[in-house]
Every structure is written in C-alpha cells, then in structure tokens.
Structure 1
C-alpha cells in the first residue's frame, strides 16, 4: 500500500459536480493498493496515519496528531500511485490491485481510520472521475509505502 498524506486546511472531492466528501483541517490521503497488500499492512498504515504528529503545537512545532487536534480525513483511492514509468512514456499500472481486491481493502481502510479516529471520515468515489480541491497547509506532504516500513 502506498499513501500520499497531505496536511490540509481544507479539502473536498467532487464527482460529476457533486461533493462526495469534504473536510476542514486534517489530512487528505491518496491511497494506492497493490495486488499483494495484506490486512496487516493496512492496519499498520491506518494506525501510523492516525498517530502521525504533523500538526503544530503551541510553539508551532509538529507535535500533534489528528487525535490531538480533532482533525479530519478525506480518503481518496488512487491506483496511479503504482504507475510504472521505467519503459517508454506511457505508465503501466500492472502493480495496482484490480477492483475485486482493491475495493474491499479500501472499504476496510475506511473502517480502520474511522475506528482509530473515533468519527466518520470523508471519501471519494472508488473508480470515479474525481476532482480534488485542497489547501495544503505548510506545505506538509508525506509519502508512506508499507513495503518499505523500515524507512518510515
């Protein structure tokens, strides 16, 4: 699993001009799911996201987590995070999980994040043509890959 995590002042997702999810202060998470991703990796990533201390404290140091600030999450499924660009100029997405694997894991990630956060999260529409609007706060952007946990 690969996640691009952005600290945002706000973020919203539109599909066909309808807002599917919107948040104020919190995290916009772009989530890519790979064919061989496991439930263990999913749980590790969800816990790590909830506990990331990337929000400012009273001294403006990154010392607070989503839980500390009562922050929100907008979760967007994004298979393009597994684009292979080594050969040619047209990306290949062979490593990205097919919907039969990805949808159940995406839905489970929603549950894990909601359980860890103690409230509902906002989402995009799996497979939808989404338009994402956000105000990156900082900017703070972190990339995590569950296959490379030792470096995160």
Structure 2
C-alpha cells in the first residue's frame, strides 16, 4: 500500500455537474493498493497518518489541529489488482481513519469514478508513506 499526503488549504472533488466532496484545511491523501496488502498495512498507515506531526513546526498532528482529510483512490499508485480487493482495502482505510478520528471530517472521492480534484496546496508539503 502506498499513500501520498498533501497539506492543503482546501480541496474540491467534483464531476462536470456535481460537487462530490469539499474539505478545508487538512490533508488530501492519494491511496494506492497492492495485491498483497493486508489489514495490518491498512491499520499501520491509518495510524501513521493520524499520528504524524506535520503541523506547527512538526509538533502537532492532523487530529490536534482539527484538520480535514480527503481520500482519493489513485489507480496509478497501484499494482495490477482485482478491482474488488482494491475497493475493499480503500474502504477499510477510510473506516480506520474515521474510527481513529471520530470528531474529525474524513471524506472520500468515489472509487474509480472519473472526477476532477481542485487542490490549493499549503506549503507545498507532500509526504509518501508505504507499507
């Protein structure tokens, strides 16, 4: 499993006619799933995202800053994988983030749906995490 996290001022996920999701200050996370990914991979990366200190001179987490999270499935980060397994892992990652951040805003783009993402980066700040 590979994820790319970008700090943003805002992000909008939309189709030609509809807005699917919007977040304010927070993280956009592009998620790539591999054939051998397990629940342990998902749990590790969810815990890492929620616990990494990337705010206020690397002293605060996304939870401590009460920032939003937007998940986007990124097929190009993935190995060749059965769609149903990729979707299962993606949905499980979303669930682990929402479980670990119950008072926060965790949103997602539709799995493998074609849409546009408008991102206003903050920083720029991008990190890549693998498991």
For the aligned residue pairs, the C-alpha RMSD in angstroms reads 1.1
- TM-score norm. by structure 1 comes to 0.81
Structure with more helix by fraction: 1
Matching residue of 1:105: 89
Residue 73 (structure 1) shift = 0.3
Gaps of 5+ in 2: none
Residue 120 (structure 1) shift = 4.4
Encode CA deviations 1:100-133: one digit per residue, 9 max, x unaligned: 1011111111110001111441110101112111
Q: Which of these residues, 91, 105, 109, is aligned with residue 124 of structure 1?
A: 109
Matching residue of 2:23: 23
- State the 4+ residue runs in structure 1 displaced beyond 4 angstroms: none
Find the aligned partners of 2:17 and 2:80 in 1 and give their Cα distance: 27
Q: Secondary structure at the match of 2:8?
A: strand
Q: Secondary structure at the match of 1:40?
A: helix
Find the aligned partners of 1:47 and 1:27 in 2 and give their Cα distance: 14
Residue 64 (structure 1) shift = 0.9
Residue 12 (structure 1) shift = 1.3
Find the aligned partners of 2:11 and 2:113 in 1 and give their Cα distance: 17
Q: Secondary structure at the match of 2:84?
A: helix
Preserved CA contact (<8 Å) 1:4 1:144: yes
Matching residue of 1:54: 54
The structure with the largest alpha-carbon Rg is 1
1:76 aligns with 2:76: no
Find the aligned partners of 1:26 and 1:144 in 2 and give their Cα distance: 17
Find the aligned partners of 2:130 and 2:53 in 1 and give their Cα distance: 18
Preserved CA contact (<8 Å) 1:46 1:112: yes
Cα distance change, pair 96–26 in 1 and its aligned pair in 2 (3 A): farther
Residue 96 (structure 1) shift = 3.4
